[in-house]
């Protein structure tokens, strides 16, 4: 388990590919007081609800062999776009020096996409990462969960 302190002024990004919460700690590392900076949501239904066509088929130019093409994962494409847009917002805030420290909490796929999209200004401010999904928790619950990761 990774340990980190959520110091006064730190930003916490909590996202899952279709919902993101950016929080600011107005308290200190011992007594968190998280306040919402922004919320972002995307309507991202499952792939089966987004695509209407069946996957295509490819035919060999010689003979009778054919193969099915893999279905496009529209849900994952939208989740990646969502993460990229979120990362760009955080990159802008980092360039404008709106925060000194950043903690990122997201499921593994979203966390990987955010890492890929974060610029150098953002990357050097990251003090902690958690591969978890906290998007369905209340702010008081998030405060409690984050306190379990502080150094003792």
7 by DSSP, 3-state: which?
coil
Stated pTM of the model: 0.78
**Which of these, 140, 142, 125, 135, lies nearest to 10 by C-alpha position?**
125
CA 128 to chain centre: 13
pLDDT tens string, the chain, 152 residues long: the values are: 478 999 999 999 999 888 999 999 999 999 999 999 999 887 655 555 555 555 555 555 566 655 655 666 565 677 778 889 999 999 999 999 999 999 999 999 999 999 999 999 999 999 999 999 999 999 999 999 999 988 86
> Sign (positive/negative) of CA torsion 142, 9, 110, 123?
negative
Kindly compute the dihedral angle of the four CA atoms of residues 114, 118, 122, 125, in this order, to the nearest 10 degrees.
50
Structure tokens at 89: 């917002």
């Amino acid at each position: 388990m990774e340990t980190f302190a959520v110091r006064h002024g730190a930003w916490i990004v909590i996202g899952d590919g279709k919902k993101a919460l950016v929080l600011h700690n107005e308290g200190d590392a011992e007594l968190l007081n998280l306040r919402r900076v922004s919320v972002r949501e995307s309507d991202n239904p499952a792939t089966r609800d987004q695509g209407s066509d069946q996957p295509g088929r490819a035919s060999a130019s010689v003979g009778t062999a054919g193969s099915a093409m893999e279905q496009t994962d529209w849900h994952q494409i939208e989740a990646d776009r969502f993460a990229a847009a979120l990362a760009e917002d955080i990159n802008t805030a980092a360039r404008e020096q709106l925060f000194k420290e950043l903690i990122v909490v997201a499921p593994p796929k979203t966390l990987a996409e955010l890492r890929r999209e974060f610029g150098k200004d953002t990357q050097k401010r990251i003090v902690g990462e958690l591969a978890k999904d906290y998007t369905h928790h209340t702010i008081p619950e998030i405060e409690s969960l984050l306190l379990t990761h502080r150094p003792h």
